[in-house]
Amino acid sequence: MKYMPVRELQMPQKIAAGPDSIEKISDFVMSEKIKKVTIITDEGVWRTGITDRPGKLLKKNGIHADLVHDVPAEPAVDQIKRIFNLIKEFKPQMLIGIGGGSVIDTVKILAVMLTNDTALEDLLGAEKIQNKGIPTLAIPTTAGTGSEVTPNAIVLVPESACKQGIISRKIIPDFVILDPIMTTGLPPFLTAATGMDAFCHAIECYISLKANPLSDSFAVRAVNLIWKSIRKVYHDGSDMNARFDMLLGSFLAGWALCTSGGTAVHAMSYPVGGKFRVPHGVSNAIILPHLMKFNMYSVERRLASLAAGMELYGNATSERQRAEQMVEDIHLLVR
What are the pLDDT digits (tens) for 216-270? Answer: 999 999 999 999 999 999 999 999 999 999 999 999 999 999 999 999 999 999 8
Higher pLDDT, 84 or 161: 84
Give pLDDT, residue 96. 98
Intra-chain end-to-end CA distance of the chain, in Å: 31
Answer whether residue 163 shows pLDDT above 90: no
Q: What is the CATH number of domain 188-334?
A: 1.20.1090.10
Report helix, strand and coil shares of the chain as percent, to nearest 5: 55, 15, 30
Q: Which of 15-29, 86-100, 146-160, 241-255 shows the lowest per-residue confidence on average (mean pLDDT)?
A: 146-160
pLDDT above 70 for 3 = no
Measured CA to CA, the distance from residue 96 to residue 65 in angstroms comes to 9
The lowest-confidence range among 2-11, 57-66, 125-134, 309-318 is 2-11
Distances (CA, A) of 118 to 21, 104, 155, 325: 36, 20, 16, 50
Domain ranges of the chain: 14-183, 188-334
Query: Mean pLDDT score of the chain, rounded to an integer?
Result: 93
Q: Nearest CA to 137 among 180, 179, 113, 108?
A: 108
Question: Stretch 27-31: mean pLDDT, rounded?
Answer: 97
Per-residue pLDDT, 91: 95
**Greater pLDDT, 314 or 240:** 240
Sequence-separated (6 or more) residues with CB below 8 Å from residue 85: none
**Please, which pLDDT band fits residue 271 given cuts at 50, 70 and 90?**
confident
> Residue 1 — pLDDT band, cuts 50, 70, 90?
low
Quote the pLDDT of residue 4: 56
Q: Among 242, 255, 227, 252, which Cα is nearest to 311's?
A: 227
- The CATH T-level fold of domain 14-183 is Rossmann fold (3.40.50)
CA distance 211 to 206: 6
pLDDT in tens, 69-103: 999 988 999 999 999 999 999 999 999 999 999 99
CA dist 225 and 242 (Å) reads: 9
- The pLDDT value recorded for residue 308 is 83
- With CA atoms as reference, report the closest residue to 63 among 143, 149, 135: 135
% of the chain beyond a pLDDT of 90 = 84
Closest CA to 33 of 11, 13, 68, 61: 61
Distance from C-alpha of 142 to C-alpha of 109, rounded to nearest angstrom: 19
Q: Is the confidence at residue 62, as pLDDT, over 90?
A: yes
**Taking 60 as the threshold, does the pLDDT of residue 6 lie above it?**
no
